[in-house]
Each structure stands twice: as C-alpha cells, then as structure tokens.
C-alpha cells in the first residue's frame, strides 16, 4: 500500500513539473497577431485609438480593455521593442501555418486561452463558440481553421 502511494505521489510530481516546464516554454513565444498601430497585437482586429498603453517607450493601440490588460500583464509575447521589429516578427509568424488556437471555445477563448464570457458567442459553419471579448469573435470568424479544432 505504501509503495502504491509513493508511486502515485511520484507520478503526480512528475506531471506537475512537466506542466510547469511546458508553460515556461510557451511563455517566451511571440504570439502577436497585430502591429499595435493599425491592428490589435492580441486579436489582430482594428484598433481603438481610445485603448492604448505605453510599452517599451512607444504607444501601442489595442481593440479593447481586455486586450490592454493582457498586454500590460505580459507584453513580450505581443509587443516587440520597435515597430519595425514588430512588423518583421508578424511577417515571419504569418508565413507559418501552425494551429493558433489557445482554448477550446467552450470554457476557454480560442484566441487568448482566457476564460470565456458567455455573453460573447459566435458561430462558424454551424459550430457555436465562446470567446473572452468581442474582438475575438471576429478573429475566429476570419480564420476559423486556425482557432477552432476540428470536431
């Protein structure tokens, strides 16, 4: 009995450390979808001139307050030091065809991975999905294959 408990505890610890390592490896990844000048770096949607922040010594514009909070909390995945670096990184990341979804569209936003707000619901090809903010609805609709897993 003691041996079984020890084995289970060890497996639990291994799983916990593996999850932490995976989260750390994703943290440094550049995941921006916009330049912060014309398009929101979080969703890629058109920006609002009233939603902005000073990041790395330059003014960045976003589509909504939710995206502003995400960038303020951790700007490096979304913002490069200069506008030129931002545009170059966006061009490099857009040439990739990788799956961009961060959540399941039911409990977590497929664009950001944040918990969904059930007030923000969209539909693509008969499939209903939920997101964290209004800007993410348009992002998913514009490229559903990149954000929604096949059923």
Q: How far apart are CA 48 and CA 65, in angstroms?
A: 10
Q: What is the pLDDT of residues 91-139, one digit of tens each?
A: 887 655 567 788 899 999 999 999 999 999 999 988 899 999 998 999 8
The confidence score (pLDDT) of residue 93 equals: 74
The confidence score (pLDDT) of residue 30 equals: 85
The confidence score (pLDDT) of residue 118 equals: 95
Q: Is the pLDDT of residue 3 over 90?
A: no
Backbone angle region of 79, left / alpha / beta, with phi > 0 → left and psi within -120 to 50 → alpha: beta
pTM value > 0.85 = no
The confidence score (pLDDT) of residue 27 equals: 54
Q: How far apart are CA 133 and CA 130, in angstroms?
A: 9
Q: Is the pLDDT of residue 13 over 80?
A: no
Q: What is the pLDDT of residues 52-65, one digit of tens each?
A: 999 999 999 999 99
Check: CB of residue 75 under 8 Å from CB of residue 62: no
Q: Is the pLDDT of residue 32 over 70?
A: yes
Supply the DSSP string of 25-60, one letter for each residue: HHHTS----S-SSSB-TTT-PBPEEEEEEEETTEEE
Show me where the domains of the chain are located: 28-96, 99-151
Q: How far apart are CA 70 and CA 89, in angstroms?
A: 19
Is the C-alpha dihedral spanning 91, 93, 96, 98 positive or negative? negative
């Amino acid at each position: 009995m003691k041996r079984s408990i020890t084995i289970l505890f060890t497996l639990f610890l291994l799983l916990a450390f593996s999850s932490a390592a995976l989260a750390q490896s994703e943290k440094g990844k550049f995941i921006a979808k916009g330049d912060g000048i014309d398009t929101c770096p979080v969703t890629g949607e058109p920006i609002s001139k009233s939603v902005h922040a000073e990041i790395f010594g330059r003014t960045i514009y976003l589509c909504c307050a939710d995206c502003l909070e995400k960038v303020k909390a951790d700007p490096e995945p979304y913002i490069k030091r200069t506008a030129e670096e931002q545009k170059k990184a966006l061009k490099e990341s857009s040439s990739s065809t990788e799956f961009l979804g961060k959540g399941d569209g039911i409990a977590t936003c497929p664009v950001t991975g944040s918990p969904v707000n059930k007030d923000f619901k969209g539909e693509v090809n008969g499939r209903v999905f939920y997101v964290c903010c209004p800007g993410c609805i348009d992002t998913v609709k514009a490229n559903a294959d990149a954000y929604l897993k096949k059923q």
